[in-house]
Chain A
Amino acid sequence: MLEVLIIDDDDIVTLVQNKLLQNCNVCAASLNFKRASDALEYLNSANPENDYLLLLDINMPIMNGWQFLEEIEKMTIKDRVFVYMVTSSIDYNDKEKAKDYSRIVNFIEKPITVKNCEQLKQHQLFKNYFE
């Protein structure tokens, strides 16, 4: 089963992304985390037989997206984790940096659109879940 986690400090973003994922039939309901540490905690005790798709914001207080990814690498579940980096900035440096992280599947500039969802569903990694 594919679980979808939204990690973003912006409530409206979380709401809109959740609605989009539901209406595009990506998932029935996403798991929403306002703080990255909460998401880490969840994954720590998560079912290792499931796959986890993370929509991860880069700019967050306390722990940002990159720090979060460093923590994921230390976890046993890391191979089940697939990350979509989602950022509002149009920063070329961030995009380059993303290439260094094997966990990152895609790099999306906000907002995530219906088109992004369609591409996601046809992605090699996830298409099995949507046939």
Chain B
Amino acid sequence: MNYSSDQLKILVVEDHIGDYILIEDYLTEEHVQIHLTRALTFKDAKEKLKSENTFNLILLDLSLPDVDDNEDLVRKMVALSNNTPIIVLTGFANKIFGVKTLSLGISDYLLKDELNAPQLAKSIFYSIERKNIDLKLSESERKYKTLFDFSPYPMWVLDKHSLDFLKVNDAAIKLYGFSPREFLCMNVRDLWVEELKEEIQNTWKENYHNKFNTTVKHLKKDGSIIHVEILSNPIDFDGREARVTQIKDITKQLEAEQALRSSEKRFKALVQDASDLIMIFDFDGNMSYVSPSSNQMIGILDSEMLQKNFFYYIHEDDVESVKEHLLMLHDIKRIQIPSYRIKTSNDKWRYVETIITNLSEDESVNGIVANCRDITEFIKQEKKLIASLKRYDTVAKATSDTITDYDILNDKIYYNEGIQSVFGYSKKDIDNSGTWWNDKLHPEDKDRVEGYSRDVKNAKSGNIQIEYRFRCADGSYKYVLDRSYLVTDIDDNPIRIIGAMQDITEIQNYIQTIEDHNSRLKDIAWTQSHVVRAPLARIMGIIDLLQNFPNISEQDQLLEHIISSATELDEIIRNITIKTENVSSIEK
């Protein structure tokens, strides 16, 4: 026996020395490791139990000198024993009482006259063992009760036949919202949802005497429905046939599963039906997944595409750049590869733009995810646009015109930088409405220009050319030659007017200057002609004289006058030249 290897400590309450020696003999006969403590009186026993209760067993003789009432003695000893098993030793005279002691908490009783070593040993063993089992039993019952009351899972006990609630734990009260009092007036069928009532009823009936688990829907007090997993066992509940049921609320779990399923579905739809090409490959370009859209984009089936390396499909001029970007994924999680060319089934090239994400660490992907978008059409458009813009820029720069783009329907005018460089309006000054533009017209030109543009819109004619004055940011006016082109839609409705406002202020000023010059030069010529003609007329007069009258007197004097007049004339002409030059330089 396992406890025989340990030291067995026994308190022997026995005043009769002969009996004590006898007991000691019996005990040592059966046990090697034994330690006896003797108490002569109840008082002595009481003290010994209070000071040091490490006894495995108490042997109690009922005839003690300081006790008259045996029943009282037994009660007191049981109270003092602290669950240590007690065996009562009694004479024949007290046999009936010995039996009674069992109901008072005594483990066994032995008749002194019939006492022998094996009987005593057996009784001691059983008593100790029974006490241990009792302890375990009550411990397990306590644990079970705690488990029920404080279980995080809702639990209840139902009458096996009626399914009325007999007991409900806190978690169930919390989950369902019914108070304990309400629960105890209810039947579990009150929780069943209408649609599943029959099914649950059948499950229950099939397993009437057995344990079963199933998934059902329950109604809460507030009317909402929860999904629960139940596990139900038949038990004996305080002598009544019952079922204990454990409930697990799986509503959230189901919702999460549903969300996951729809998310998977969405993802599948995105990947498989999208026009984007999605691939998964490693750093060496070995592909593990190609989306079916490959067929749509480059005319190669996904299964076929998987047979070659990713880099095989890339244009040789682009492959280095793609590889470089791929290597960056060691440091960055996600990167966009600039547009590159990818081979199609008929050996043509498509431009694609790709976002690559390193999901090598993600077990469900285990690779680099590439999301390719076909941008061939965009690139073509872009190239056209760049060419067109270049032409436009060249023209715009060459003319230094202010380019206007009038969106007739929305009454919005957009300008190029000319509005700033020519007229001095900064971006914040400009209001893109047509009114803003009209407001800048010179008051004298306003009616004419507005009338003209109305005519143009109505006549739907293409080219417009008109001159007007346009106010600058500093309040001054500039002469503008406006050449515009009316753009119409297919139904000939005017939609836009593209225009070039040429600053002709300088030309206008130049013309004015020339006119001023002319008028001044005219003046100069006019006045100078008198002065010029005076000496010239003299010379002509003298020559006329000399020709008609060769023998005229004082010829020397006349010749002298010719010389002086010629000199005077020369000087006058020089002066005129200088003055004329001065006029031009003043204007400049």
Contact = CB atoms under 8 A, between A and B. Distances in A.
Interface of A: 10, 12-13, 15-17, 19-20, 23, 59, 88-91, 109-114
Given A10-B534, A12-B561, A23-B552, A89 B529 contact: yes
Given A23-B549, A23-B552, A16 B533 contact: no
B364 interface: no
A42 to B, nearest CB: 24
Contact of A89 (B530, B557, B564): B530
Nearest to B527: A89
B36 interface: no
Contacts of A89: 529-530, 533
A113 B544 contact: yes
A84 B430 CA distance: 73
Nearest 3 pairs between A and B by C-beta?
Answer: A111-B541, A110-B537, A88-B533
Given A12-B561, A16-B545, A20-B545, A111 B538 contact: yes
B558 interface: yes
Nearest to A23: B549
Given A12-B565, A16-B561, A110 B541 contact: yes
A111 B552 contact: no
Interface string B547-559: 0110010100110
B147 interface: no
A86 B225 CA distance: 131
Contacts of A109: 533, 537
30 contacts: A10-B534, A12-B542, A12-B561, A12-B564, A12-B565, A13-B541, A15-B557, A16-B545, A16-B558, A16-B561, A19-B552, A20-B541, A20-B544, A20-B545, A23-B545, A23-B548, A23-B552, A88-B537, A91-B526, A91-B529, A109-B537, A110-B533, A110-B540, A111-B537, A111-B541, A111-B542, A111-B544, A113-B540, A113-B544, A114-B548
Contacts of B557: 15
B538 A114 contact: no
Nearest to B554: A19
Most buried by B among A12, A19, A114: A12
B538 A16 contact: yes
Nearest to B565: A12
Contacts of A113: 540-541, 544
A15 B544 contact: no
Given A89-B530, A90-B529, A111-B537, A19 B545 contact: yes
B179 to A, nearest CB: 127
Contacts of A17: 541
Most buried by A among B526, B529, B545, B552: B545
Interface string B235-256: 0000000000000000000000
Interface in B503-535: 526, 529-530, 533-534
A59 B529 CA distance: 13
A113 to B, nearest CB: 5
Nearest to B534: A88
B561 A15 contact: yes
B542 to A, nearest CB: 6
Nearest to A93: B526
Contacts of B542: 12, 16, 111
A90 B533 contact: yes
Contacts of B540: 110-111, 113
Nearest to B540: A111
Contacts of A10: 534, 538
A90 B549 CA distance: 27
Contacts of A16: 538, 541-542, 545, 558, 561
Contacts of A110: 533-534, 537-538, 540-541
Nearest to A117: B548
A17 B541 CA distance: 8
Nearest to A57: B534
B68 to A, nearest CB: 177
Contacts of A90: 529, 533
A98 to B, nearest CB: 16
Nearest to B544: A113
B248 to A, nearest CB: 125
A16 B542 CA distance: 6
A17 B545 CA distance: 9
B513 to A, nearest CB: 27
Given A13-B541, A91-B529, 17 more contacts: A13-B538, A15-B557, A16-B545, A16-B561, A20-B541, A20-B545, A23-B548, A23-B552, A59-B530, A88-B534, A88-B537, A90-B529, A110-B538, A110-B540, A111-B541, A111-B542, A111-B544
Contacts of B565: 12
B193 to A, nearest CB: 122
A90 B552 CA distance: 29
A112 B538 CA distance: 9
Contacts of A112: 541
Nearest to B547: A114
Most buried by B among A10, A91, A111: A111
Contacts of B534: 10, 88, 110
Nearest to A94: B530
Contacts of A13: 537-538, 541
Contacts of B549: 23
B526 to A, nearest CB: 8
Contacts of B545: 16, 19-20, 23, 114
A15 B529 CA distance: 22
Contacts of B564: 12
Contacts of B554: 19
Nearest to A13: B538
Most buried by B among A19, A109, A112, A114: A19
A88 B541 contact: no
Nearest to A16: B541
Nearest to A110: B537
B529 A12 contact: no
Contacts of A59: 530
A27 to B, nearest CB: 15
Contacts of A88: 530, 533-534, 536-537
A112 B316 CA distance: 101
Interface in B199-246: none
Nearest to B557: A15
Nearest to B542: A16
Given A13-B538, A23-B552, A114 B530 contact: no
